[in-house]
Structure 1
Amino acid sequence: MSTPTKPDTLSLYGETFTSRLLLGTARYPSPAVMEAAIRRAKPAMVTASLRRQNLKPGHHEGTGAADTGNGFWALLRQLGVPVLPNTAGCHSPQEAITTAHMAREVFATDWIKLELIGDDYTLQPDTLNLVQTAGTLIKDGFKVLPYCTEDLVLCQRLVDVGCQAVMPWAAPIGTGKGPVNPYALQVLRERLSVPLIVDAGLGRPSHACQVMEWGFDAVLLNTAVALSQDPVRMAGAFADAVDAGRAAYQSGAMAEQHAAQPSTPVLGTPFWHQS
């Protein structure tokens, strides 16, 4: 009789989640499609940003038909999935801090995805100001999930100021290129013990499976699902890929070999001798 296995949960800031997939809410073709995709993926959290010039429920900073005012907020409440507010589009530390505080009032949550943009073309994080901004929000009682690059020193500094998880990108947001710097990401996983969530740049379920096989704790994505031809089915594919990658990591992959190794047993195979 087999012993039941303990549920594999994701732990962030002392809270546990049964899914290792986080999903965005922008750019879906319709609210109905977004709802169906979220229901299919069953994510740990869904991200949502607010227009900073008019921060109140009903002003969702997504694009596309899913941005439908108060109905958007009602839908999120109906789904019952925890919301991860973010500071998308912020270019200065004070702008990000102010947005985070307003989002906390609107969403009644201490969770915040910290985005501090340093370059408008690649949407690369402002690595020079990100650590200080994250530290300020941590002191203000936020549970900060910082969007960052795969730079080891940057990620270590974020941990040093109190971030209990960090979210390095795989590639620039929305590119779908997958991990463009596998070496750096794997070094990051080897060196840091806090949860690591790959955020941005994943385009295919195989990309998600790959980083999960490397030992990353979760993935966050949006465009790869929302802009696919069948977002609901793609959401399911990503959810399955995340589970498969996690299971593979926990199972321990075989070591690579330089030479071929026979996989078929030869015991009892006739030996034919030619004279």
Structure 2
Amino acid sequence: MTSNLAADSLTLYGETFASRVLLGTSRYPSLQSLSDSIAAAKPGMVTVALRRQMNADTAEAGFFDLLKRHGVPLLPNTAGCQSVAEAVTTAQMAREVFETDWIKLELIGDDYTLQPDPIGLVEAAAKLVKDGFKVLPYCTEDLVIGRRLLDAGCEALMPWGAPIGTGKGVVNPYGLRVLRERLPDVPLIVDAGLGVPSHACQVMEWGFDGVLLNTAVSQATHPPVMARAFAQAAEAGRSAYLAGPMAERDSAQASTPVVGMPFWHHAGGSA
């Protein structure tokens, strides 16, 4: 078991990452808070939104220098895009700016729930894969859409647990677990909707390969402390999954043997 844990690592598109936690970089109260959170979580990748970071009203001097100092692989995303053309163009710009073929593909189809546009997502993914990108698509837990994304050339999926920024945890456990069961060999990273470390631990216990966090950490009272808590929870959940949890039962079963107990404790006995 110890050797299994030591050898266990997150692998995406043939590349291995040091952690199964991915961390977003937006909405932190300060650059120092972001830096401390990255140091606390030790994430495998950090996500950056090109459109937000290039906005002069929200960009902070030193942001990119901070990310370079930590040396964590970057995962640019297409946050805010609402059309295939917009998502593809943003991804291509991100590749030039961040010098990476990795992209977290976001294509929003509804302004209220921020639910991904499933049809446009598949089309955009196919275009980006053909263009040489390593695409991590943000999608719902829909199994059919997941398969279409895999057919388009994606080698991993990032299904949501709940709508972005809600902190509700997994709102459709059945759908998410079916996705895991039906796609046993596909890396699946739960992205969006997780609010507390127990949510991360739960999905990792189900066999998911990683979690991506942003609001749950950046909007916590103490982001670095929460970042570390999520990292510990994800590690605990993964270890529990590898350990093989006991089967759930509908009735009680004694954990101590009956042999050697006084005869009056046996069924039908009397003192």
Q: TM-score if structure 1 supplies the norm length?
A: 0.92
In the other structure, the counterpart of 1:17 is 17
Q: CA deviation at 1:269?
A: 2.5
For residue 262 of structure 2, the aligned residue among 259, 270, 273 is 270
What is the distance in 1 between the residues matched to 2:245 and 2:15? 29
Give deviations 1:74-104, integer Å, cap 9, x for gaps: 0000010001000000011000000000000
In structure 2, the partner of 1:47 is: 47
Cα distance change of structure 1 residues 3 and 130 upon mapping to structure 2, 3 Å threshold: closer
- 1:223 equivalent to 2:250? Answer no
Amino acid at match of 2:7: P
**Aligned with 2:229 (options 217, 230, 237):** 237
Q: Does 1:143 align with 2:108?
A: no
Alignment of 1:27-176 (within 5 A): 27-51=27-51, 59=54, 67-69=59-61, 71-176=62-167
How far apart are the structure 1 equivalents of 2:251 and 2:27? 47
TM-score (normalizing by structure 2): 0.94
Note closer, same or farther for the CA distance 1:267–1:177 as it changes in structure 2 (3 Å cut): same
Structure-to-structure mapping, 1:174-189, within 5 angstroms: 174-189=165-180
Report the Cα offset of residue 230 of structure 1. Answer: 1.0
CA contact (8 A) 1:12 1:195 kept: yes
CA offset at residue 60 of structure 1? Answer: 6.1
Q: Secondary structure at the match of 2:261?
A: coil
CA distance, structure 1, for counterparts of residue 238 and residue 270 of structure 2: 50
Q: Report deviation, 1:172.
A: 0.2
Give ranges in structure 1 of 5+ residues lacking alignment: 53-57
| Identity among equivalent pairs (%) | 67
Which runs of no fewer than 5 residues in structure 2 stay unpaired?
A: none
**1:223-260 Cα deviation digits (max 9, x unpaired):** 00110111111001100010011111111111111110
List structure 1 runs of 4+ shifted beyond 3 angstroms.
Answer: 2-6, 60-63, 272-275
More helix by share: 2
Structure 2 CA distance for partners of 1:32 and 1:174, relative to 1, 3 Å: same
Distance 2:234 2:217 in 1: 14
For the 8 Å contact 1:166–1:195, the answer to whether it is kept is: yes
- State the secondary structure of the residue aligned to 2:226: helix
Q: 2:94 and 2:56 mapped to 1: Cα distance? A: 12
Q: CA deviation at 1:4?
A: 4.2
8 Å CA contact retained: 2:51, 2:80: no
Query: Offset of 1:62 from its aligned partner?
Result: 10
- Give the distance between the partners of 2:57 and 2:145, measured in 1 at CA: 28
Whether the 8 Å CA contact 1:49–1:61 is kept in 2: the answer is: no
CA contact (8 A) 1:51 1:61 kept: no
Match of 1:211 in 2: 203
CA deviation after TM superposition for structure 1 residue 50, in Å: 1.5
Q: Does the Cα contact within 8 Å between 2:204 and 2:241 map onto a contact in 1?
A: yes
Relative distance call for 1:231 and 1:154 in structure 2 (3 A) is same
In the alignment, which residue of structure 1 is the partner of 2:244? 252
Distance in structure 1 (CA, Å) of the matches to 2:262 and 2:55: 71
**Considering only aligned residues, what root-mean-square deviation do their CA atoms show, in Å?**
1.7
- Whether the aligned pair in 2 keeps the contact of 1:138 and 1:163 (CA below 8 Å) is yes
Q: Quick one: structure 1 residues 3 and 84, their matched pair in 2 at CA, closer, same or farther if it must change by over 3 Å?
A: closer
* Secondary structure of 1:129's aligned partner: helix
